[in-house]
Structure 1
Amino acid sequence: MDPLQRRFASGPRRRLVAVVAVAGGAVVLAIAVALASAGAAGSETSVPAVAVERPPAPEPTPLLVHVSGAVRRPGLVSLPPGSRTIDAVAAAGGPAAGADQGAVNLAAPVVDGQQVVVPVRGAAPRTASGPGGAAAGAGAGTVALNSATAEQLETLPRIGPALAQRIVAYRTAHGPFRSVDELGEVGGIGPKTLAGLRDAVTL
């Protein structure tokens, strides 16, 4: 075959190779463009932030404390949690004239339902009761009605085993005594017995 014939014979083959090469390049370019577009779209996609609402923190329950004795405004005071005896005395107007503050632990923490008693200087110490009648610093010669056992109640004037059991039963049924006068509601305790108990008991 002469050179001219070989030239014409190889012409279609070269054109086919060129077409295949161009087509292959176009496919590769299309794939690259598609991948680039997908990456760009993915980078632009953001997850929306979800706002989480938290419930408000509950407010602390205030402490209700009964302050009595030598203070300017005896009665119930409301105190924030973590308060101490000195805060209770201050909320009751501060110590009155003649108050024996040395007989009270002013640094002691107070609890809900406690009674703080500030005695008068020279007077016999009294008992300050805690929640549920738990005694806090019992004084000599007095019995805490809300925490005393039946045996302790029997040490009181005119109180025998039967009356002591009735006092305990009344306290169990009605809750802590709110005043010494409430002893008169216990069966068997009349005005004369109650009068003899006033200086011998505390809440």
Structure 2
Amino acid sequence: MEKIKKHLNWFIGIGVVFLLALSLSLFNYFKSEENMPITSQLPEMNEPQVKIPETPIKERKKETKEVQVDIMVDVQGSVKNPGVYKMRVGDRIVHAIQKAGGFNEQAELRSVNQAMKISDEMIVYVASKGEEYEVQRGEENNRSQTSDVININSADEALLQTLNGVGPAKAQNIIAYREEHGPFTSLEQLMEVRGIGEKTIEQWKDKINFQ
């Protein structure tokens, strides 16, 4: 009986050791599964990348660089510093006169169209007071003159006298009114000038414009 008990205890001991070993092996196996990185189980997904082409630096500089062209203008007459000056395309006569130091005391301001755009090799001449002169006109005024239509807001004394019934005195009255009140805008406004009436403007309606 004692032998049987010994053998039974021996078998039980072996069984306990086996169960412990089995439990330890299973524990280590599941623990290693839990610690395994998830990313290693999934295939990598590479998203396509869209590349935006960049404009080369040299081309960007070309796009932002403004084109500037120099022109030469000869400013003469009643200005403080007559001479040839370098100007920019798009500048006007007033800018050229400023480059020449401005008008002197003898300058006849009405002898130049200060709003006119300048061009390369152009001569800007400022007449002196009492000197005969002819105002340089822009392209629009030249078209008006060739079509026998006068711009009443820019015409000088000599050109105004080509209108029917206008002499030196009446031409000066038109210019004086223009300088004091600004450009004319209608035929009726011309009647405010001394010496001009309804009959006069009736004769002028096809001979003048206001632009």
Q: TM-score, normalised by structure 1?
A: 0.41
TM-score with structure 2 setting the length: 0.39
Q: Which has the higher Rg, Structure 1 or Structure 2?
A: 2
